[in-house]
Structure 1
Amino acid sequence: MSLQQKAYRGAGWSGLSGMISNGLELLKYIALARILEPGDFGLLAMAMVIISIGRIFADGGTSNAVIHFRNQSSRQLSTLFWINILAGSALYLIVLLTAPFFATFYGEPEVRQLLQLGGIILPIYAAGALFEVLIRKNLDFKKITIAETTAAVAGFATATGLALAGWGVYSLIWSHIVTAGILTAIYMAVEMRKWKPSFCFSPGEVWEHIRFGLYQMGERGLNIYSMRIDHLIIGRFFGPEILGAYHIAYQVVLFPISRLSPLLNRVALPVFAARQEDHSVLRNGYIKLVSGIVSLMMPFFIIVSLSAPWLVPFLFGDGWLLTAQLMPLMALVGVLRMMGNPSGNILLSKGKAKLAFYWNLAAAVVTTAVYLIGAQYSVFVLLTLYIAANLLYLGIGQWLLVNRIIGLTFSRLFSEMKLFVPLLIVPFLLTFIIKNVISNVWDVTGWMRGDVPVSAVLTRLYDAWQYGLFRADGSMMYDLAMILAIAAVFLITYIPLFWRYQSGSVREFWQAVRKDGHGS
């Protein structure tokens, strides 16, 4: 089986895993949003941002080192396993000790109990981290898909069952604990058939892994900090109610890309690492990865942004107006993150964890300053400033982290990406116009008679799109009809253009998967 076939096969399984996991996660939030209050989701977000940052350090940063250095002895793997256990346990202790501080920081006493309970996730994930990376290193993503699907189903059942039983925010935290436990148990059960850790601890034999891991751990920690500092600052300055609404918007719009990126990295990083000396292969692979992500994910962001005023009440019920208002801005954040994420695979495949660390350190400092400035005004100003910062990150990061490393030029990148201008702009504009016509926001006849100034029309269009002012009534059927109409108009226009520009890649993917399925 060729490396390309393995990559396509892995991408297929990772995509399936992402769809199932994301779908169940969305269903969980849909179900619980009608049972719990926005403040409950805000309390969860306050606790989980700390746990999410801690989880980055739970494997000692050595997971990607196992992939980069390719071959390890049983003694080395055993040492790395115990490093993970020690790191996860130490992090749990730190969470236990600092929980009162974060409760004071947020001004919410319940955050203390949530952190002390949810912190157990860290040693649980640490125990399974090495087994997961060994499966990923072999591009055996079918096993990962089965594990993640099983864990997601269990987490969904736990959350809904406990919420109906009146457990409130604790139904959410227990959902995360159950998901982590089942995921780790499956990884260990599957991979221990091939290798079991021994009682061996020889740090000197894995010093290169540790050194790589320290930078990688710092880089990943700064990266997740930059992505979650918004939750810290919004929770601190605006309270759990606004943070809860923001968190739901984040889960609907940004959660898919936050899940898609690791799934794609699982496939791309081992493939790039295997060809790390061939810059021509890396350039072609990077361009294919970026174009594939943009063409597959951009429709999601556009449809969600345009349909937000109807999508949010249809999914979550009334009381989530702020969520609908935030989603268009959140979609822009998602687009910029989506386009910048593939650069990390180039850096790690080339072993440049140190450069990745310093880049994310600079980004963390800038992001923190941006959010603190925005928090003095409103959550809308905060997000707008963050969008501007991400535009800066995208341009500088492309040059510094990709172009200089593998010899890619902006002219070649733009020549490849210019195909996406008609692919995305035409369907977006058509859908935007039709959406406002069928929702009676755009008074066409009044405009043509001159009764309505053009400036008033444009202002009304912007306000309607940004703040969701054009729900004709409160019926779910009307909401559903608008969602389906917007999606249909966009996709009917988009799919022919997508096939014109991407049919070659689709055929290449399909042929590789079919050959792989026949064992050739």
Structure 2
Amino acid sequence: MEASSKGIFWLFLSKFFPPIINFTVFAYTARILAPEDFGLVALALAIIFLISSFMPSGWRDAIIKYQISDKLTISSIFWFNLAVSLFLSVIVIVFSLFSLFEFQTHAFNLAITIFCLKLIFDGLFYTLNTVLLKQEQYFLIALRTIISAVISAIIIIALLLLDFGVWALIWAQSILSITNFFAVYWPTKKFIGIQFSMASITRLNSFAMYSTLTNGVTSILDHYESVIIGSVLGKRELGFYNIAKRLSAIISDIFIATVNEVSFPLLAKKQEKITELRKAFIDCVYFSVLCLFPLFTFCFINSKQIFLLLFTEKWLSAAVIFQAFCIIFTFIILGIPQKNIIILRNHAKWWFQLQVKISLVIVPLTTLSAFWGLNTLLLSLIFGKCLYCSFSMWKSCQLLSLSIKRYLVSFIVPIICCATSAVVVISITQFIPNSQFILLDILASAAIFFITYLIQLFLFERKKLVIIGLTLLPNNHYLTKLAKKINNQDP
């Protein structure tokens, strides 16, 4: 039990400490560099990520799936990943030698060539990191994550202070990947030998090919829009888009990922009994909306002040893009429990097919919309997330024999409370002059918004909140007493 507690502690430390470091460096870098610099790096990285979608990631997943421990198989997977990454790097270098597109400036071609180091070492790192995950070496994983974040921060700041400019970001990305590899190589080197067996690779094909394809499609859908924006609208527009996306990703990694980690085990425990699973699903969706919708609603209405505080006035054009991500995240919040239900009910293949079918619509639509400007492209991205959410909602409700009306009604009250709180904040702040300190304005807006939100919840959803609280904390004496008090007050 003690070892398990320590493992959980290190997992949480590795999850929250690096984002704080990355966010601090990210905000500092944005104040120094221009949008065009961020756009150049974002476009080069997006192409590298698209190329890396063809990496044989499924064979890495097979190490955990089949609990592989023998040195020959792990060595074969390691060298297989290295061979593929070298082959893909040659393609990237050839691409950089022939400037076929307008965005391929000398700086861009040099940047994408340097990022080949990232492509190679990331492939090796993920293979060895999977071995650590299989062995549940959480301390080593956490230590590697924290050390890498600190090293990356030091490198970026040092290179910026030495006036390397955009090259500080470029070299820091590659050096970070190299550092990550050596950090995991030392504790796993006993599993790697100079040996290779094609038979070990081919016997994993049935699982690994499907997993590689699924991971590849997901990776492409995560990065394709950056390539479209950079090539069609230019590096400056991509710089604004990238800064908004990175800020959104930091918030998402901390909050949405945390809720997902809470909801998935809860649903998994109830998967054998459809009635209990249905109730757990409704509770998970309600809890997600209750906690995260007010956060993104607040960020939406205060996006300009947030960007002024963090990144200065030169990044204000990214505030509208950030608002679009806030809308997108509302669909993601609903989609996570829905996806979990689909997977738990053994319909992962249906989910993959849905991704492919919708991408065949959304990717061309996004490409065409880019020619009408960034705002039109953002609308197409929102539409795409809405489609995913709608189809997964229909499927999850069907699998649980749950009516869509009952599903929507289950979380309507927190949404109304969010909308009401937003209207109250906007109405009040119109009559209050802005102070000289942006942080004070944001804090005042936050106090009005969240106090209004909590008062409404207390008035209309007190009983439901106590029930969910007892589900998560069944031995809490305060919640037990409050539940008895509420039940005695009921007619």
> Structure 2 length normalisation: TM-score?
0.81
Question: Which residue is 2:431 aligned to?
Answer: 440
Which of 464, 474, 484 matches 2:443? 484
Q: 1:431 to 1:161 in 2, by over 3 A?
A: same
- Per-residue CA shift, 1:281-328, capped at 9, x if unaligned? 987886676566545543432222121111101111111121112221
Question: Which residue is 1:251 aligned to?
Answer: 246
Residue 300 (structure 2) pairs with residue 305 (structure 1): yes
Out of 323-332 and 288-297, give the one that drifted further.
288-297
**Paired residues of 2:51 and 2:88 also in contact (CA < 8 A):** yes
Matches of 1:83 and 1:283, distance apart in 2? 43
Question: Which residue is 1:181 aligned to?
Answer: 178
Residue 412 (structure 2) pairs with residue 421 (structure 1): yes
**Paired residues of 1:59 and 1:87 also in contact (CA < 8 A):** yes
**Paired residues of 1:283 and 1:408 also in contact (CA < 8 A):** yes
Matches of 1:103 and 1:200, distance apart in 2? 40
Question: Which residue is 1:466 aligned to?
Answer: none
Matches of 1:166 and 1:434, distance apart in 2? 43
Q: 1:11 to 1:228 in 2, by over 3 A?
A: farther
Deviation at 1:198, TM superposition (A): 2.6
Matches of 2:476 and 2:123, distance apart in 1? 36
What letter corresponds to residue 360 of structure 2 in structure 1?
A: V
- Per-residue CA shift, 1:157-181, capped at 9, x if unaligned? 2112212222121111222223222
Matches of 1:142 and 1:91, distance apart in 2? 33
Residue 462 (structure 2) pairs with residue 503 (structure 1): no
What letter corresponds to residue 421 of structure 2 in structure 1?
A: L
Q: 1:417 to 1:175 in 2, by over 3 A?
A: farther
Matches of 1:362 and 1:9, distance apart in 2? 43
Q: 1:289 to 1:85 in 2, by over 3 A?
A: farther
- Per-residue CA shift, 1:365-416, capped at 9, x if unaligned? 222122123213221121112212211111213445x567xx43444x8757
Question: Which residue is 1:93 aligned to?
Answer: 90
Residue 83 (structure 2) pairs with residue 124 (structure 1): no
Deviation at 1:335, TM superposition (A): 2.2
Deviation at 1:252, TM superposition (A): 1.0
**Paired residues of 2:82 and 2:120 also in contact (CA < 8 A):** yes
Matches of 1:11 and 1:424, distance apart in 2? 33
Question: Which residue is 1:28 aligned to?
Answer: 25
**Paired residues of 1:58 and 1:126 also in contact (CA < 8 A):** yes
Matches of 2:259 and 2:280, distance apart in 1? 12
Matches of 2:346 and 2:73, distance apart in 1? 19
**Paired residues of 1:68 and 1:351 also in contact (CA < 8 A):** no
Matches of 1:233 and 1:126, distance apart in 2? 25
Residue 36 (structure 2) pairs with residue 39 (structure 1): yes
Out of 502-511 and 364-373, give the one that drifted further.
502-511
Matches of 1:236 and 1:20, distance apart in 2? 35
Which of 415, 421, 433 matches 1:430? 421
User: What residue ranges of structure 1 are gaps of 5+ in the alignment?
Assistant: 442-470, 512-520
- Per-residue CA shift, 1:54-98, capped at 9, x if unaligned? 344445322333333345533322222222222222222222222
Matches of 2:475 and 2:86, distance apart in 1? 42
Out of 492-501 and 111-120, give the one that drifted further.
492-501
- Per-residue CA shift, 1:198-236, capped at 9, x if unaligned? 333223234353332222222222222222222111112
Matches of 1:348 and 1:201, distance apart in 2? 34
**Paired residues of 2:297 and 2:418 also in contact (CA < 8 A):** no
What letter corresponds to residue 74 of structure 2 in structure 1?
A: L
- Equivalent residues in 2 for 1:342-361 (5 A)? 355-361=350-356
Matches of 1:138 and 1:276, distance apart in 2? 27
What letter corresponds to residue 141 of structure 2 in structure 1?
A: I
Q: 1:110 to 1:314 in 2, by over 3 A?
A: same
Question: Which residue is 1:61 aligned to?
Answer: 58
Q: 1:143 to 1:480 in 2, by over 3 A?
A: same
Question: Which residue is 1:81 aligned to?
Answer: 78
Question: Which residue is 2:484 aligned to?
Answer: none
Question: Which residue is 1:242 aligned to?
Answer: 237
**Paired residues of 1:254 and 1:330 also in contact (CA < 8 A):** no
Deviation at 1:44, TM superposition (A): 0.8
Matches of 2:154 and 2:168, distance apart in 1? 10
- Equivalent residues in 2 for 1:6-405 (5 A)? 13-100=10-97, 104=101, 106-192=103-189, 195-257=190-252, 278=272, 293-341=288-336, 355-400=350-395
**Paired residues of 2:50 and 2:220 also in contact (CA < 8 A):** yes
Deviation at 1:351, TM superposition (A): 7.9
What letter corresponds to residue 448 of structure 2 in structure 1?
A: V
Give the percent of matched residue pairs that are identical in Structure 1 and Structure 2.
22
- Per-residue CA shift, 1:309-353, capped at 9, x if unaligned? 111011111111211122211211122234334566667778876
What letter corresponds to residue 246 of structure 2 in structure 1?
A: Q
Q: 1:427 to 1:353 in 2, by over 3 A?
A: closer
Matches of 2:16 and 2:272, distance apart in 1? 32
Matches of 1:403 and 1:172, distance apart in 2? 45
Backbone CA RMSD of aligned residues: 3.8
**Paired residues of 2:362 and 2:384 also in contact (CA < 8 A):** yes
Which of 402, 408, 412 matches 2:400? 408
**Paired residues of 1:14 and 1:264 also in contact (CA < 8 A):** no
**Paired residues of 2:300 and 2:326 also in contact (CA < 8 A):** yes
What letter corresponds to residue 125 of structure 1 in structure 2?
A: D
Question: Which residue is 1:455 aligned to?
Answer: none
**Paired residues of 2:96 and 2:113 also in contact (CA < 8 A):** yes
Deviation at 1:101, TM superposition (A): 5.5
Matches of 2:319 and 2:115, distance apart in 1? 29
Q: 1:379 to 1:34 in 2, by over 3 A?
A: same
Q: 1:262 to 1:422 in 2, by over 3 A?
A: closer
Deviation at 1:131, TM superposition (A): 2.5
